[in-house]
């Protein structure tokens, strides 16, 4: 438990907060689209400008989630201003995903998972596949029971192989993508 909490603190830069989310979700996707800045600013959902990651030309290419308010809802796909208005959408601003972020511990999981997905440049399949291990790690770090009713240690038996496999899959996928890009560049 302490090991996970310290790892979370080192990775995110803040203590693991098992409380539910408060407030309204950001329009993270809108930070990447200049035409929606005014609308997002008017709704108050634009992430703080100090969290924006810019390229050499000054264009916003990402958002550093650790520089946003981690108590605001972060569960779901990054939303633009116009997304998440329907209850059953999968964007952070939808009623369903905001509801999930209100479950104690889920927002802490999502903050770490979003940073992990961004740092490793995961595609959609890798991102979705890495959610269950992130949930297990987060709740183990928050002190959830790690033993089955028979006394078996389910956390070590289940999550460690999953996490090891996910890391290898992510690294292999990144290697294949970069190798493919290299081959495409040399074919020209």
Instruction: Kindly report whether the global pTM for this prediction surpasses the value 0.75.
Output: no
Domain boundaries of the chain, sorted by first residue: 1-18+121-188, 21-102
List, for residues 30-67, the tens digit of each pLDDT value.
Answer: 766 654 555 556 567 788 888 888 889 888 888 888 99
Closest CA to 108 of 2, 170, 22: 22
Residue 73 has pLDDT above 90, yes or no: yes
């Amino acid at each position: 438990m302490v090991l996970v909490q310290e790892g979370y603190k080192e990775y995110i830069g803040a203590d693991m907060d098992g409380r539910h989310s408060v407030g309204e979700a950001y329009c993270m996707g809108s930070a990447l689209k200049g035409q929606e800045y005014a609308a997002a600013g008017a709704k108050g959902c634009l992430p703080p400008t100090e969290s924006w990651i810019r390229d050499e030309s000054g264009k916003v290419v990402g958002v550093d989630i650790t520089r946003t308010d981690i108590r605001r809802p972060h569960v779901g796909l990054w939303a633009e201003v116009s997304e998440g208005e329907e209850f059953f959408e999968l964007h952070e601003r939808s009623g369903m995903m905001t509801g999930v972020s209100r479950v104690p511990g889920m927002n802490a999981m999502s903050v770490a998972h979003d940073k992990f997905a961004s740092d490793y440049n995961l595609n959609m399949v890798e991102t979705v596949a890495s959610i269950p291990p992130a949930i297990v790690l987060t709740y183990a770090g928050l002190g959830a029971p790690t033993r089955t009713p028979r006394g078996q240690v389910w956390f070590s038996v289940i999550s460690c192989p999953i996490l090891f496999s996910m890391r290898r899959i992510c690294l292999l996928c990144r290697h294949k993508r970069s190798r493919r890009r290299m081959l495409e560049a040399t074919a020209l």
